[in-house]
Amino acid sequence: MKIKHNSLVEYVILGVLGSLVVLTLAVPPLLRDRRCAPVLSLSVLLRDTDNSWTAARQGMELAADELGAELRFLTLTTSNSGEEQEELFLRELEGGADALIVVPSDLEGLYAALLHRENMKKCVLCGGWYIPKSNRAKYCPDCAEQERRRKTRDRVRRHRAGM
């Protein structure tokens, strides 16, 4: 059942890619003159390690070129690693990609990561994402612990210096 579901997802994505190509054929005259406008940045996250998507990829690169969009293909180092893809996904999102096209290796996991992200906060020290325990929290648990230690150390130092 899982396999069937996945291949259905792939067909849907292929359909989207197909319509993108069709769109590209129709739209270029409108967009060609706007090359100097900010480029649209698209990230395509595949779930494989290799280029099993070569044909689709070539089509998309052609389309992106026509539209003056920036296209990035990201493959995984371990095929079908949901965890790795999740990481890439959030990184691309964070990196300001205008659109993400994903061939999900773990759809539910990706969903969860996305929903989760809304409740997450970015640590002002290390830039990592974490779930804050209070609205005032500024640091991730690791950095908060380090900050706490640093403050204690400072306090002790000041105390010893007789201040």
Q: At what angle do helices 2-26 and 54-67 cross, to 10 degrees?
A: 30
Does 137 bind Zn ion (CB under 5 A)? Our answer is: no
Q: Which stretch binds Zn ion (CB under 5 A): 32-40, 79-87, 109-117, 143-151?
A: 143-151
Helix, strand, coil in percent for the chain, rounding step 5: 55, 10, 35
Nearest distance in Å: CB 124, Zn ion? 8
Q: How far is CA 39 from CA 26, 27, 132, in A?
A: 19, 16, 35
Strand pairing of 99-102 and 41-45? Answer: parallel
**Interatomic CA distance for residues 21 and 25, integer angstroms:** 6
- Six-digit token pair at 1? 């059942």
Least distance CB 116 / Zn ion (angstroms): 17
- Stretch of 40-48, 55-63, 91-99, 116-124 contacting Zn ion, by CB under 5 A: 116-124
When asked if residue 131 is in the footprint of Zn ion (CB under 5 A), the reply is: no
Closest CA to 107 of 7, 21, 25: 7
Between 31 and 90, name the residue whose CB sits nearer to Zn ion. Answer: 90
The reply on whether position 124 binds Zn ion by CB under 5 A is: no
Q: Which is nearer to Zn ion, 102 or 140 (CB)?
A: 140
Stretch that binds Zn ion, among 46-54, 72-80, 105-113, 120-128 (CB under 5 A): 120-128
Residue 76 makes contact with Zn ion by CB under 5 A: no
